[in-house]
Structure 1
Amino acid sequence: MDRELLKHCLGALFEQITKRIQTSPGLPIPNPTTSFWLQPESPLLSHIQSPSLPSDADIVIIGSGISAVSILRELYRLNPKLNIVILDARGICTGATGRNGGQTTWPPYWDYPDLKEEYGIEAAARIIKFRLRNMEEMFEMAKEEGSDCVKVSEIRETVAAHVSFDEDVAKRRFEALRVWHQDVPEQAREWWKVNAETARTDLSMPTATGAIFGPAMALWPYRLCVSVLERLLKQHDTLKIESYTPVEKISYHPSASTPVYMITTPRGHITTPTVVHATNAWSSHLIPGLRSKAFPCQGQMSAQIPLRDLPPPGDDKYTYLFVHERGIDYMTQRLTTSTVNPDGTITTIGGEVMLGGGSAQTRNRGSDKIGSADDTKVDYLAASHLSGLVPSVFGSGAGDGKKATWGGTTVKDMWTGVMAFTADDLPFVGKIPSSITRRGKPKVKMQGNGVRTGEWCSVGFGGRVW
């Protein structure tokens, strides 16, 4: 291609991305694709609404995913009498938390060298420590909620297998791991690497060029969150959860007897001195100062049924990250439950392969996904990639003239979700300055019940933590 033409094309592409991330993502679009994780939705929460919208609250939380649930749980732990309202534009917990990969397997060593260069060894190690603590905290939360929550959420420890399929990719990942081990050996001690030959043999992946292993976790994220919400709703009559109640506008009213924010929805208004934004990819719609700093990005997921058992160790013991020269994919397998019927036959439930990714294989190498908050349709190129990936990774299962041991997968569900990323890849958490909200804020910093006033947010955990 002519250099000037290439320069023009790249410039146009950059302009398109810039325009998208500087534009409001709007409200979540109705009728999104159907996620496997949301089948079925909670009977208690799926269309929950009060007969009339509460007129006021101590705290209004916008959003109902993992961030909102975590914040709500902690608030009620600190003060069980709080009057809290949760608002969501669509169904409860049907955003990214109800659409993700069902695992935490992001490689801590991957980001460490860049974090070290930007912030130094000590700060980089603290950031990685925080990310690693996420799994421990998630387990603790599920256990505290009780055995039923642990069972229904299928939360479990797994082994992360980050497999490279290109020699240069493997070398870069191995070098990042080496640097992490060298600088913070105690933190990195549970992570190790194997060469191409070992990876191919141990993982039954004939084209692997190396692999890195470490601790990980898998779960049914939607069920974990709704289990917590159902419990809190039953225990606190001061909690109101309002599904299909989009927030259209937030305005600050300093002249009120008690300065408050007015939350405008199609069902009416709510006043509150404290607002928590937990809408992640959609945050900049109501926080205009975050535009271009935090932005949506469409991702794609699938649930697939193995035609026969995956080659060992293709089972629920592992969560996989498939690392290519262009893009990554991630996979785990649901737990399998077998029951013996009265006639002696066996019924097996579960075992679906949960596989996501494919963005880098789409138009413009996935750059069109940046700034997209549309989860109402799937990308056919990503769908084609995900549909054929598992047989390509594991091979036919045959060797030395033997019959193939398995026959690939068949797609059960394919859907999209919207993640949030930030310009520097680090999240925004805490109180939001007026310069970012473009609204005023109460001069009184604390309510009488001990809750801080103002607007707060948790934005931009693009897979690094959750």
Structure 2
Amino acid sequence: MVSLFSLIRVTIETIRGIVSSYRRVSKRISQSPGLPVSNPTIPFWSIPASPIQKEGSIAALPESADVVIIGSGITGTAFARTLLNGDRSLEVVMLEARDACSGATARNGGHITPPLYHDYLDLKKKHGAEAAKQIIEFRLSHLDELIRVAEEEGLTKESQCRKVETYDVFFDKEVFEGAKEKLGRYLEELSSEKGGWDTVEGSAGMQLADGVCGVISTTGGAIHPYRFVTGILSRLLKAYPSFRLYTHTPCLSIDANIVHTPRGDIRTEHIVHATNGWSSHLLAPMREKIVPLRGHMTAQRAGTGLDGGWLGTRSFVLYPGASEDRWDYLTQQPPDPRARLDEKPQAEFMFGGGVEMGSPSFFDAVGCADDSQVEFRVSAYLGGALAAYFGKWWGGESADVDDDDHFEKGRVKKVWSGILGISADGLPWVGGLPSKVSGRGEGGAEWIAAGYSGEGMVHAWMSGKALAYIILGKDPHWLPAPFLVTEKRWKKADISSWL
């Protein structure tokens, strides 16, 4: 039997560990995240690499431009596309520290599945009913918008942008009951959402483990984010001579209206920060307002016992424990040879997560902007969790069918890390930067769209589009007011709620 003294000692040591972790994190998030590392892990999505992978990496930089975009992910691409479509005469330069689209966009799970009922009541409490509904509508708008853009760009097959059935799967009865209560309140207040949801006790007849308490389902989306973004950038480079992309050209500093890089300086009227987790490298006052956090993703071969009839048509958010703060996410590549550029797909499971707020892995991840490393505890968990989630239905391991040296043998085909941008108040930061927030006085106008807190696929595109509307003098009526950057919001935002 464990003595009371032993229990007290263990409790004290646990508290000391938490306090020590908190202190380390507090110190880390007050520092610059630095530039993106030069040797990041390689995500599944970027194999094979886009032809524009190293676009402009050895070309001479212009001395000036109307607009300089820092970052070549989904935010910067949405902004560039919208701006150039609105005014093709503008000289627009996009700078990327590494390969094209090598940041968070190419490293996420490809989910277009927004948190809706999950935090509606909290949004309502903080921002009021109308603002909460506008935020929900903003998130919901991304699926149809991304599908529409993929069609316009001729990228529907290549980007795999599609609607899927999405399922919140609960393994704890109390968490499931709480989710049902939130969903009920959500549907009461957003009549447009009624009829689009289903709640089932148990595993709903799906191929899930016996421990499932309940499932909540609706319609979501999935996408190949890397091909979507690089496909659009490729077209913009061909369609607009005034648009130029320079990869391997990090922005070192900004002085008034001059952007300094190792390859030369560019004078500009507008500077757009589309760097998400790295935002505070160039915006020192945004440290502790947008904080980097390292996440993990895997591409895995599906178990042989799973029914191939639903492969590629579903996505999941899985809640394995007694807390809403712990969840994993899963979608799947469609088993359609036409959806890949040069190889037959194997219906890979795209599985990520493995971090819970307050856990050792969480404290290790917060403030970390190094995506060259993979955290052992997280990768070990992700490598084994899928078989547990599907239980007896998983079956045997898939046969090794890949002879590409880029991929590993066995269940886990690829594992990589990526940097999220955690917003101190949980909302994206979109709009013009006041001088106190940029840390600079008079000079060129600076703008930002960043801080998506791990939900970039349902925030980034419309945020980048809204920013372009603002610069073009148009009204982005869909942009929620709480997203706008103000000194008042900046002063109030407190990252401690995440810690």
Quick check: TM above 0.5? yes
Aligned match of 2:271 in 271, 275, 278? 275
What amino acid maps onto 1:173 in structure 2? Answer: A
Residue identity in the other structure for 2:196: E
Task: Tell me the residue number matched to 1:430.
Answer: 431
Q: 1:335 to 1:6 in 2, by over 3 A?
A: closer
Conserved 8 A contact 1:311-1:406: no
CA distance in 2, matches of 1:50, 1:86: 14
Instruction: Decide whether the 8 Å contact of 1:92 with 1:243 is kept in 2.
Output: yes
Distance change in 2, residues 1:417/1:284 (3 Å) = same
User: For residues 20-41 of structure 1, what are the alpha-carbon distances to aligned partners after superposition, in whole Å with 9 as ceiling and x for unaligned?
Assistant: 2211100001110110001111
Partner of 2:265, secondary structure, is strand
Q: Is the 8 A contact 1:48 1:243 kept in 2?
A: yes
Shift of 1:122: 1.9
Match of 1:27 in 2: 35
Measured after TM superposition, the shift of residue 191 of structure 1 is 2.1
Tell me: CA distance 1:264–1:184, structure 2 relative to 1, closer, same or farther (3 Å): same
Check conservation: 1:86, 1:240, Cα contact below 8 A.
Answer: yes
Normalised to the residue count of structure 1, the TM-score between the two structures is 0.88
Q: 1:225 to 1:338 in 2, by over 3 A?
A: closer
On the 8 A contact 2:52/2:100 being kept in 1, the answer is no
Q: Flag the 1:314–1:328 CA change in 2: closer, same or farther, 3 A.
A: farther
> RMSD in angstroms over aligned alpha carbons?
2.0
User: The residue matched to 2:148 in structure 1 has which SS?
Assistant: helix
1:234 Cα deviation (Å)?
Answer: 0.3
| Match of residue 160 from structure 1 | 166
Letter in 1 for 2:450: V
1:394 aligned onto 2:390: yes
Distance 1:188 1:287, change over 3 A: farther
Distance (Å, rounded) in 1 between the aligned partners of 2:194 and 2:278: 35
Change beyond 3 A, Cα 1:385–1:142: same
TM-score normalised by the chain length of structure 2: 0.82
Mapping for residues 283-432 of structure 1, pairs under 5 Å: 283-308=279-304, 310-311=306-307, 315-325=311-321, 327-337=326-336, 349-360=345-356, 364-397=360-393, 405-407=395-397, 410-432=411-433
Question: In the TM superposition, what are the counterparts of 1:198-209 in structure 2 within 5 Å?
Answer: 199-209=203-213
Between the two proteins, the alignment pairs up a number of residues equal to 431
1:446 alignment partner in structure 2: none
Distance 2:35 2:231 in 1: 26
Specify which of 188, 207, 215 is matched with residue 211 of structure 1: 215
Unaligned runs of 5+ in 2: 1-7, 399-409, 458-499
Look up the equivalent residue of 1:317 and give its one-letter code.
T
> 2:176 maps to what in 1?
170
Alignment of 1:106-121 (within 5 A): 106-121=114-129
Q: Please tell me the residue identity of whatever aligns with 1:419.
A: L
Is residue 396–residue 406 contact of structure 1 (8 Å, CA) maintained in 2?
no
One-letter code of the match for 2:304?
R
Question: Aligned in 2, Cα 1:338/1:229: closer, same or farther, shift over 3 Å?
Answer: closer
Query: Structure 1, residues 295-325: CA drift from partner, whole Å, max 9, x if none?
Result: 1111000001124252466521101111122
Alpha-carbon deviation of 1:16?
1.7
- 2:397/2:411 contact within 8 Å kept: no
**Does structure 2 retain, via aligned residues, the 8 Å contact 1:361–1:381?**
no
- Aligned to 1:462, which of 453, 459, 465? 453
1:311 touches 1:394 (CA, 8 Å); kept in 2?
Answer: no
Distance 1:203 1:188, change over 3 A: farther
1:45 corresponds to 2:43: no
Deviation at 1:388, TM superposition (A): 1.0
Matches of 1:124 and 1:390, distance apart in 2: 34
Whether the aligned pair in 2 keeps the contact of 1:204 and 1:312 (CA below 8 Å) is no
Q: Which residue of 1 aligns with 2:226?
A: 222
Distance of aligned partners of 1:367 and 1:175 in 2 relative to their CA distance in 1, 3 Å threshold? farther
For residues 138 and 329 of structure 1, what CA distance do their matches in structure 2 show? 23
4+ residue segments displaced more than 6 Å: none
- Identity percentage of aligned residues: 35
Match of 1:141 in 2: 149
Cα distance in 1 for partners of 2:449, 2:195 equals 30
Say which SS state the counterpart of residue 345 (structure 2) adopts: strand
Shift of 1:4: 5.2
Q: Which residue of 1 aligns with 2:250?
A: 246
Q: Which residue does the alignment assign to 2:469?
A: none
- The 3 A distance-change label for structure 1 pair 460 and 103 is same
Q: 1:307 to 1:183 in 2, by over 3 A?
A: closer
Contact 1:164/1:324, CA 8 A, preserved across alignment: yes
Pair 1:313–1:170, CA change in 2 (3 A) = farther
Shift of 1:187: 2.9
40-49 vs 1-10, which deviates more? 1-10
Give the strand-richer structure, 1 or 2. 1
Deviates more, 1:380-389 or 1:411-420: 380-389
